């Protein structure tokens, strides 16, 4: 059966989830990737940031957000006084999806599809169930879709603090959280890097994060 659920030990804490993740065969992405990239950050972090999937650098390092997009995210978190260490960083999909460049020299990021996002979602649900963070931020449409459902539009709702899990995709997946957890979607840091107005895009991204950081404090 496809999907990560059967690879997730019941009642696992974060370390047990991390230890179980390399054995996941919930979709085909493990075949091509170097390794699973699970997450980084403290289990008691009040703020969780969810990206799309590890990139080329992360795939080799085994750490999330250590490539170019990660550098931009780290800079924003540093400027907000949180730092990487103050947040829990994870991804909607835990293996790097890529295709090879025509000459086969470069690994080019490929968007995860709905089957892969759905297959990997049980890891994210399990992480959030043990973390019980105050604020969850989706970085980009993939993470927002994984958490809030495919109809969610980042362009319409970015930067808004929304109640959680009232509007979530499958609210039954998540435990009751106390105090009530909040959700926010913003753009992916790689979209900031690709923007024609990079400075403006960065300011808007950092402003969204500032709201989330404040709500998590």
Which residues are near ligand URA by CB under 6 A? Answer: 51-55, 58, 64-65, 67, 69-70, 91
120 binds ligand SF4 (CB under 6 A): yes
Please list, in sequence order, all residues whose beta carbon lies within 8 angstroms of the beta carbon of residue 135, skipping any fewer than 6 positions away.
Answer: 46, 47, 48, 161, 181, 182, 183, 184, 212, 215, 216
95 binds, among ligand SF4, ligand URA, none (CB under 5 to 8 A by kind): ligand SF4
58 binds, among ligand URA, ligand SF4, none (CB under 5 to 8 A by kind): ligand URA
- The bridge status of strand 88-91 relative to strand 39-40 is antiparallel
Number of H helices, E strands in the chain: 9, 8
Q: Minimum distance between the CB of residue 139 and ligand URA, rounded to whole angstroms? A: 6
Give Dmax (Cα) for the chain: 53
Q: Minimum distance between the CB of residue 158 and ligand SF4, rounded to whole angstroms? A: 26
Tell me if 167 sits within 8 A of 158, measured CB to CB. Answer: no
Tell me if 29 sits within 8 A of 52, measured CB to CB. Answer: no
Interface with ligand SF4 by CB under 6 A: which range of 10-18, 29-37, 154-162, 184-192? Answer: 29-37
Q: Minimum distance between the CB of residue 27 and ligand URA, rounded to whole angstroms? A: 17
Interface with ligand SF4 by CB under 6 A: which range of 19-27, 67-75, 78-86, 173-181? Answer: 19-27
């Amino acid at each position: 059966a496809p999907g990560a659920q059967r690879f997730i030990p019941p009642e696992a804490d974060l370390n047990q989830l991390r230890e179980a993740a390399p054995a996941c065969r919930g979709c085909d992405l493990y075949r091509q990737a170097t390794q699973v990239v699970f997450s980084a950050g403290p289990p008691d972090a009040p703020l969780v940031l969810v990206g799309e999937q590890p990139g080329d650098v992360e795939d080799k390092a085994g750490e999330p957000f250590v490539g170019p997009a990660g550098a931009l995210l780290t800079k924003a978190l540093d400027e907000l006084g949180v730092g990487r260490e103050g947040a829990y960083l994870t991804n909607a999909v835990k293996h790097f999806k890529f295709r090879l460049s025509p000459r086969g020299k470069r690994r080019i990021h490929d968007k995860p599809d709905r089957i892969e996002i759905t297959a990997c979602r049980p890891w994210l649900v399990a992480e959030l169930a043990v973390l019980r963070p105050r604020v969850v931020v989706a970085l980009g449409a993939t993470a927002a879709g994984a958490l809030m459902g495919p109809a969610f539009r980042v362009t319409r709702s970015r930067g808004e603090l929304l109640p959680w899990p009232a509007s979530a995709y499958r609210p039954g997946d998540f435990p009751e959280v106390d105090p009530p957890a909040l959700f926010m979607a913003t753009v992916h840091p790689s979209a900031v890097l690709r923007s024609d107005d990079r400075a403006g895009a960065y300011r808007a991204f950092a402003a969204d994060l500032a709201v989330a950081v404040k709500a998590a404090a």
